[in-house]
Structure 1
Amino acid sequence: MSRLPGRLRPWFRRLPVVARLVLAVAVTMSLVLAGTAGLVYWRVQTALDRQLNDDLTTYRHSLDRAVRTGQELPPGPSGSLQQVLDAQGRVLVSSAALRTQSLLTPAELGAAVRGATVRRDVGSLLPITSDTLRLQAARVTVGGEGRIVIAAVRRGHRDEALRELLAQLALASGLTLIAASYVGYRTARAALRPVERYRAGAAGLADGAQHLRLDVPADRDDEITRLGHTLNHMLDRLAASAERERRFVADASHELRTPLTLMRAELDVALHRPRSAGELTETLRSVDTEVQRLIDLSNALLDLEELGTTQHLSRAPDDLADLVDTAVAPHLRTAERAGRAVTVAAAPATVDVDVRWLRPAIANLLDNALRHGSGRVGVTATVHEGGLRLCVTDEGTGFPPEFLPRAFDRFARAEASRTGEGSGLGLAFVQAVATAHGGTAHAENTGRGACVVLTLPC
């Protein structure tokens, strides 16, 4: 159907799928049946014409011999005609049915006089006409003078057989086309019935139906069934995504509400009565702290959104030891003030990663260990079989067991209250970096403290 004329394509595309399939089957079957019927008709016509030509040639040869020897013209097959002309076209001998009417046109007579064998059909197969003939004419020399001998046989039986064949082929082709179209229609309807069910289910989902899943047969494995499983998987993903978005909006609203409420409270207190310059300065510092918290939260959310696609990654070879040292350096003074040690063990290797994202991910892990853990913090980085393994450990009490399954969720915090430091996006950012690189991140308790492992292909 890709070769339809330009004016028919829009019309064809507007048809229902079943109608297009049935039309395609009908057109294809019509072409096949027409080709088959044409081949059968051609073979039968060729066989009939060969037999008719053989009889006509034999008959003309017998007439030629009779004219040369001066004998009486022999009778031919049933319904045959004979005629002998001179070079000027005058009828010398003729069958009673012809009388003096010449069977040749002037042009054919001239060709026969020049020695050509003339062959022609008189009358047509359709529409039906009487006295249909096939004739042959050739020159014969008698006593130095030329004679044109014409032999003709009737084509009635041959034409009748061909017309009967055409009628039978038309009837058989029509019935076959109707049967094929009906089977195609029933097959298309049966094949597309599950698609219609899926469409109705999707319409129900669009109307607000909850927890909708398509009814997919479990005992089949065809294209439609696989489509149903794919759509159900998509619905599961959409439901999970909608739930994550709902939780995200609720958590983000809570996180944004807290600093905004504190800022509003500080400003209300400052405006309630006249304040000294020192009190106003303290209020502004408090408001600045909350503004910075909002900025950090917004930046973290933007980073997570940007990491949602690997198109933002720009991998480049980098020295692993330098990468880890650069990420750890800003936190050494914080650890020193807290009286805690930070040890770094990085293998001498070159890794192919996006330093712009991996460096802050390492910094987030170190910041979490310093903020929520205790004792010595260890940072190890090794490369094995094309994979980078980063591990940050501390010697604290570890993660609460109930927190581990959701440690990398956005805004997830181990403490029950949300008033503590941090936004709850640090580990979510680490997991986003790992996913963008095609790796994984997981957290565990080692018995001596917490351990967060980042594994990346490099």
Structure 2
Amino acid sequence: MRPHGRPRARLRRLPVVTRLVLAVAVTMSLVLTGTAGLVYWRVKTALDQQLNDDLTTYRSSLDRAVGAGAQLPPGPSGSLRQVLDGQGRVLRSSDALRHQPLLTPAELNAVVRGATVRRDVGSLLPITADTLRLQARRVTADGRTRIVVAAVRRGHRDEALRELLAQLAFASALTLIAASYVGYRTARAALRPVERYRGGAAALADGSPNTRLDVPADRDDEITRLGHTLNHMLDRLAASAERERRFVADASHELRTPLTLMRAELDVALRRPRSAGELTETLRSVDTEVQRLIGLSNALLDLEELGSSGHLTRSSVRLPDLVEAAVAPHRRTAERAGRAVRVEAADTDIDADARWLRPAIGNLLDNALRHGTGTVRLTAAVHDGRLRLRVTDEGPGFPPGFLPRAFDRFARAEASRTGEGSGLGLAFVQAVAVAHGGTAHAENTGHGSAVTLDLPC
């Protein structure tokens, strides 16, 4: 196995252009060899057929003349003849042959027994002199056995075949060279954009974030589609890097605020002796900021976990039970604020991950109770295999400039970052919707705000 694996490994290490040219050369060699072989066989067959026809006709005329005891007729140009008795003695012969027998003893015995012998004398390659094709047959003349040998020279036939071989070899070599050159130029032209794309990717890796591949706009082939795909990927990577940069900056700011407040509270408490009441108030303030940090950290971890679809586990759950479990913790908050929460949930089962969908509904209710006024309404209905869950309030609605970024992380309707909330509630809601294969949409209804979840269930 190892000797075969080494050439393959060496071949795989060659440049792609070299491998393509080798593949073209090998394929063209096989095609040209097959074509040349077919042409040579057809021409050789035609020449041999003509030579055999001439030889058979000449031998037949010799057979008749010997059988009748007549004078031997002349044959084609360059033909030879020989008449032998049953013991192989030469009775009559062409002047060029003198008394040299053309048949071997084995061939003579075969002809005496009635067989017809056909044989070539000399070879096509290497070139030999006096190349012949002969036929020998037994003839009876005056009750005695005679062996008639007729031969014709193959010089013209062999010369034509050698010339054909030379021309085929020359034409095949030129064709192979031309095909290899065309294959090389084609491969280079086809892979030139790939090399250009590689250079662009290398520039991006070297720290040029705005680099984009130069893709021709007047083409639509595999290479240009690859370029468009890579540019799209680069756009996605750039957007992702920008989101990550903003996320890190916002997260740092969000974490810095409570930490700064805690440090200030502690510095004030340590600056001079405090009473037990003052220390208790300081600890309560610090605890509030700690709870805010914990909530922010948990929200960030939840969003990060939702980024992987592997953390989503669907199961059948009763929709009214799911909605009630999400609404229950917020009813007391609504009562304290003198507000009402109205729920309309279809009596059906859905296929969803209740672990994530329940807190998403809770976030929508919390936003409506915190930023809206009046009655909060939650409707959940299923149509055509999709769950449509909508939470509305009767408040002033979202600021118009806030709607396009309502689901961004740390996005807040108010400019201050010191108010309640982390700005991650709606981002979490959208992450839950996307993880379920659905969408989230925020809008103003004219009587307040509305956030809608549309999920396959």
In percent, how many aligned pairs have the same letter?
83
Q: Please say if 1:399 is aligned against 2:394.
A: no
Give how far 1:271 is off. Answer: 5.5
* Residue identity in the other structure for 1:446: T
Q: Please say if 1:74 is aligned against 2:73.
A: yes
Corresponding residue for 1:244? 243
Give how far 1:288 is off. Answer: 4.3
Corresponding residue for 2:321? 322
Which structure 2 residues correspond to residues 10-25 of structure 1 after superposition, within 5 A?
10-25=9-24
In 2, Cα distance between equivalents of 1:106 and 1:296: 113
Give how far 1:246 is off. Answer: 0.4
Corresponding residue for 1:372? 371
Once the two structures are overlaid, the 10-residue window that deviates more, 56-65 or 237-246, is: 56-65
Label 1:147 to 1:312 Cα distance change in 2 as closer, same or farther (>3 A).
farther
Corresponding residue for 1:200? 199
* Residue identity in the other structure for 2:430: Q
Give how far 1:407 is off. Answer: 0.8
Show CA shifts across 1:103-122 (max 9, x none): 22333333333322222211
Corresponding residue for 2:424? 425
Label 1:449 to 1:86 Cα distance change in 2 as closer, same or farther (>3 A).
same
Label 1:136 to 1:7 Cα distance change in 2 as closer, same or farther (>3 A).
farther
Label 1:78 to 1:378 Cα distance change in 2 as closer, same or farther (>3 A).
same
Matched length: 455
Show CA shifts across 1:328-381 (max 9, x none): 112112212222110001122322222222111111111111122222111011
Corresponding residue for 1:189? 188
Which structure 2 residues correspond to residues 84-103 of structure 1 after superposition, within 5 A?
84-103=83-102
In 1, Cα distance between equivalents of 2:106 and 2:316: 93
Corresponding residue for 1:155? 154
- Give TM-score scaled by structure 1 length: 0.92
Give how far 1:441 is off. Answer: 0.6
In 2, Cα distance between equivalents of 1:146 and 1:6: 67
* Residue identity in the other structure for 1:386: G
Label 1:149 to 1:426 Cα distance change in 2 as closer, same or farther (>3 A).
same
Label 1:271 to 1:123 Cα distance change in 2 as closer, same or farther (>3 A).
farther
In 2, Cα distance between equivalents of 1:432 and 1:235: 23
Unaligned runs of at least 5 residues, structure 2: none
In 1, Cα distance between equivalents of 2:122 and 2:422: 100
Show CA shifts across 1:228-256 (max 9, x none): 21122112111111110100110111122
Give how far 1:33 is off. Answer: 1.6
Label 1:416 to 1:68 Cα distance change in 2 as closer, same or farther (>3 A).
same
Corresponding residue for 1:138? 137
Give how far 1:431 is off. Answer: 0.6
Label 1:83 to 1:413 Cα distance change in 2 as closer, same or farther (>3 A).
same
Label 1:408 to 1:63 Cα distance change in 2 as closer, same or farther (>3 A).
same
Label 1:406 to 1:136 Cα distance change in 2 as closer, same or farther (>3 A).
same
Corresponding residue for 2:108? 109
Show CA shifts across 1:383-441 (max 9, x none): 22222111111111211111111110011111212122222111111111111122111
Secondary structure in 2 matching 1:8: helix
Corresponding residue for 1:235? 234
Label 1:116 to 1:272 Cα distance change in 2 as closer, same or farther (>3 A).
farther
Once the two structures are overlaid, the 10-residue window that deviates more, 411-420 or 258-267, is: 258-267
Label 1:64 to 1:6 Cα distance change in 2 as closer, same or farther (>3 A).
farther
Show CA shifts across 1:155-196 (max 9, x none): 100011111111111222222222222222222222222223
In 1, Cα distance between equivalents of 2:310 and 2:365: 27
Corresponding residue for 2:29? 30
In 2, Cα distance between equivalents of 1:142 and 1:281: 147
Q: Please say if 1:307 is aligned against 2:306.
A: yes
Secondary structure in 2 matching 1:360: helix
Corresponding residue for 1:211? 210
Secondary structure in 2 matching 1:128: coil
Question: What's the C-alpha RMSD, in Å, of the aligned pairs?
Answer: 2.3
* Residue identity in the other structure for 1:76: G
Give how far 1:282 is off. Answer: 5.4
Unaligned runs of at least 5 residues, structure 1: none
Corresponding residue for 1:43? 42
* Residue identity in the other structure for 1:341: A
Corresponding residue for 2:436? 437
In 1, Cα distance between equivalents of 2:155 and 2:127: 10
Once the two structures are overlaid, the 10-residue window that deviates more, 364-373 or 87-96, is: 87-96
Once the two structures are overlaid, the 10-residue window that deviates more, 270-279 or 49-58, is: 270-279
Label 1:110 to 1:444 Cα distance change in 2 as closer, same or farther (>3 A).
same
In 2, Cα distance between equivalents of 1:329 and 1:145: 130
Give how far 1:284 is off. Answer: 5.0
Secondary structure in 1 matching 2:138: strand
Once the two structures are overlaid, the 10-residue window that deviates more, 359-368 or 187-196, is: 187-196
- Give TM-score scaled by structure 2 length: 0.92
Secondary structure in 2 matching 1:331: helix
* Residue identity in the other structure for 1:452: V
* Residue identity in the other structure for 1:259: P
Secondary structure in 2 matching 1:417: coil
In 2, Cα distance between equivalents of 1:85 and 1:307: 105
In 1, Cα distance between equivalents of 2:116 and 2:165: 31
Once the two structures are overlaid, the 10-residue window that deviates more, 342-351 or 15-24, is: 15-24
Corresponding residue for 2:337? 338
Once the two structures are overlaid, the 10-residue window that deviates more, 308-317 or 71-80, is: 308-317
Give how far 1:308 is off. Answer: 1.9
Secondary structure in 1 matching 2:61: helix
Show CA shifts across 1:254-276 (max 9, x none): 12222333444455556666667
In 2, Cα distance between equivalents of 1:287 and 1:144: 140
Secondary structure in 1 matching 2:207: coil
Corresponding residue for 1:120? 119
In 1, Cα distance between equivalents of 2:303 and 2:290: 20
Label 1:146 to 1:341 Cα distance change in 2 as closer, same or farther (>3 A).
same
* Residue identity in the other structure for 2:415: A
In 2, Cα distance between equivalents of 1:304 and 1:438: 16
* Residue identity in the other structure for 2:372: G
Corresponding residue for 1:179? 178
Label 1:343 to 1:59 Cα distance change in 2 as closer, same or farther (>3 A).
same
Give how far 1:283 is off. Answer: 5.1
Q: Please say if 1:350 is aligned against 2:349.
A: yes
Secondary structure in 1 matching 2:398: coil
Give how far 1:87 is off. Answer: 3.7
* Residue identity in the other structure for 2:231: N
Once the two structures are overlaid, the 10-residue window that deviates more, 100-109 or 354-363, is: 100-109
In 2, Cα distance between equivalents of 1:172 and 1:249: 69
